[in-house]
Amino acid sequence: MTAGIQRACLWSGPLFVAVFFGGILAAGWLPPPAADMSADEIAQMYRSHVDGIRTGALLIAMAGFFQGVWAALMSRQLKRIEGDRPLFTYMQLGAGCVGILVVVFPSFAFAAAAYDPGRDPEITAALHQFGFLCLVGMGFPAILQCVAVGMAVLSDPRENKVFPRWTGYANLWVAFAFGPGPFILYFHTGAVAWNGFATFWIPANVFGAWFGLWFYMLRRAIESEAAEDAMAELSDVELQVRRG
Amino acid sequence: MTLTQTPRDARSNRPAAFPGEPGLWFFLFADMTLFACLFGVVVYIRDDQPEVFAPSQAALSQTLGLVNTLLLLTGSLLVALGVNALRGGPGRVDRMFAGGIACGAAFLGVKVLEWGHAIADGHTASTNDFFSAYYMLTGIHLAHVTIGLGVLIAMYRNVRSPNVRRNLVEGGACYWHLVDLLWVVLFPLVYLMPAG
């Protein structure tokens, strides 16, 4: 019955990616600005791109909306595995909700920094750095989300699995691939700075692949649920026919 | 052999099977790819800043690194012997796994000692690019070891219970070998590779 609504919710994933990266592009932050910019350079960047950065902050915040839908849809499908005693379902949902903050906090910081770009450059720089450190570095909610989904998939006792088992392992790997992110706190240049190879480019690509993976998993699960419902309905009809 | 037949292992002539399960091997290869990228970061730092790399590397304890290498190799051997014992080989599987757990725990202890020494000498993650990469790589590897210890403990409990799960034991053993394999590349790369 709800398969149609679920199919619609499924598009929240690609929409999130589009709106989120749209925001990053609007702000002119792909590739991301260098992590070792001086306060004056940062302030200058905000003064010359004020409208783009404001629009970017707005879009990044808006992307959080789609994350909520996405996490709810995954919870719905995980609950098919766990039934009425869910644990990993709640873990994923909780982590997904906190994951919204990881996107919304930076957008607030960018918005505040761009609100009055003429102020003391040190203040603009601090807000800008707060935003980037949070956005690129604090991947822990996403890590927990992947672990919860991975564990739920691997614990599926059903004959017809809701998700193929390899997707469980794939989720566990994504959790590891987000691992280098928090190390941006220690670097201002090089491969592990917030614009670096290990902490931006690897996780950013894995992030995209992660959404592709979940899209595949969820689409498959929604269709299998619809098929199961149809079968159940059919056997109900058969039963009634036999009873006369 | 026709296409409908299950392929058979060339040496044992048993039906061919993935150790653990196929999905696990997606994880194992993906993780190796990830580490290959991170190893690339170390090589980049070496070529980019040889004047930072050489003295920083010299400050690491090669001895403790070697001890940890031997601990992991021994642990891997014990786990492999344990799986072999489970298939009818000599020895007791639970004792082998307990030995593997002891090796893993000792690795953690040595790593804490090593980090403690490095920090006491004033080499922290903020010191320079070499030490940042060192703490990042050994830290992510340590997370693998810690998770591996949990897996080994689950394997140990499982083989002492009446219903042994082949997937868990074989898959867990493969993961433990991965942890070993990654370290066997990490150790020469970070501790021994000459600069420039």
| Residue B18, domain member (yes or no) | no
Checking if the pLDDT of B10 tops 90, the result is: no
Residue B69 domain boundaries: 62-192
* Cis geometry, peptide bond prior to residue B162 (ω within 30 degrees of 0): no
| Residue B66, domain member (yes or no) | yes
Q: Which of A206, A47, A19 is nearest to A114 (CA)?
A: A47
Higher local confidence (pLDDT), B70 or A183: B70
Q: pLDDT tier at B5 (50, 70, 90 boundaries)?
A: low
Higher local confidence (pLDDT), A138 or B114: B114
Q: Report the pLDDT averaged over residues B139-158.
A: 96
Closest chain A C-alpha to B91 CA, distance in angstroms = 31
Are residues B45 and A190, on separate chains, in Cβ contact within 8 Å? yes
Minimal Cβ distance to B38: which of A169, A172, A198: A198
Q: What is the pLDDT of residue B196?
A: 65
Minimal Cβ distance to B34: which of A166, A177, A190: A177
Chain A residue with minimum CA distance to B127: A186
Q: What is the pLDDT of residue B1?
A: 42
| Residue B186, domain member (yes or no) | yes
| Residue B176, domain member (yes or no) | yes
Task: Give Cα separations from B184 to A176, B73, B74 (angstroms).
Answer: 19, 9, 12
User: What parts of chain A have a pLDDT lower than 50?
Assistant: none
Task: Give Cα separations from A116 to A33, A42, A72, A109, A123 (angstroms).
Answer: 20, 13, 37, 12, 10
| Residue B167, domain member (yes or no) | yes
Q: How many domains does chain B have?
A: 1
Q: Report the pLDDT averaged over residues B40-52.
A: 89
Specify the DSSP class assigned to residue B7: P
Task: Give Cα separations from A142 to A13, A67, A96, A122, A160 (angstroms).
Answer: 14, 11, 7, 31, 27
Q: Which residues of B touch A172 (CB under 8 A)?
A: 27
Checking if the pLDDT of B3 tops 60, the result is: no
Other Cβ atoms within 10 Å of A194 Cβ, number: 22
| Residue B44, domain member (yes or no) | no
CATH of the domain at B115: 1.20.120.80
